[in-house]
Copies of this chain bind each other. A is one copy, B any other.
């Protein structure tokens, strides 16, 4: 099945770190276009112009390549906001997640990756690694909020991110609603009021 995914970033012309980055983009774009089952190391090699033997030397399998691509590929990277306040940081983070899920540039890749990892037990660890990695980076938002006395040190970052990212996923991807800043602000407001209690 052909999907409407541009492979414009998928051509290796440099070497070193940028070379790996291009191969990651290539793998993710092929995943978005062709689906997990149809994604092969051969296709990545052909499309990127990199020798298949080279690919296998760097990543022993398609899943290893995807796991690495998910973790480091630039379009899927979330910048960690630092607005000076917990509410502002969460809104900025929510806006970035919403943008990843809805922009023409990243949405096909993110949806293909997260869907593949949800539907296939053998890929679950890839998705979990992706989320674990994201969580580790986002923890600093929570550490700063604790230091400023805005939240309790016992507040579980994963719990808050589940609510923020989960509602965006349901709203934008599953329900097909338009993503808006006002929606993110409302979600963050509810989460902040909801967790401002010693029982959470």
Within 8 A of B (CB), among A156-200: 158-159, 161-163, 165-171, 173-176, 186-187, 189-197, 199-200
- Residues of A in contact, count (CB < 8 Å): 51
Does A147 interact with chain B (Cβ within 8 Å)? no
From the candidates B38, B171, B190, name the one contacting A191 in the complex (CB within 8 A): B190
- Do B175 and A162 touch (CB < 8 A)? yes
Contact A190–B166 (Cβ < 8 Å): no
A195 touches B190 (CB 8 A): yes
Q: In the bound complex, do residue B131 and residue A174 qualify as a contact, i.e. CB atoms below 8 Å apart?
A: yes
A114: B residues at CB distance < 8 A: 115, 118, 174
Q: Do the beta carbons of A171 and B175 come within 8 Å of each other?
A: no
- A117 located at the interface, meaning its Cβ lies under 8 Å from any Cβ of chain B in the complex: yes
Q: A159-B186, A194-B191 are in contact. Are A171 and B166 (CB under 8 A)?
A: yes
What are 23 contact pairs spanning A and B, CB under 8 A?
Answer: A1-B37, A37-B38, A111-B119, A112-B119, A115-B119, A127-B176, A128-B174, A128-B175, A131-B175, A161-B170, A162-B166, A162-B170, A163-B163, A163-B167, A165-B166, A166-B169, A166-B170, A190-B191, A190-B194, A191-B194, A193-B194, A193-B196, A193-B197
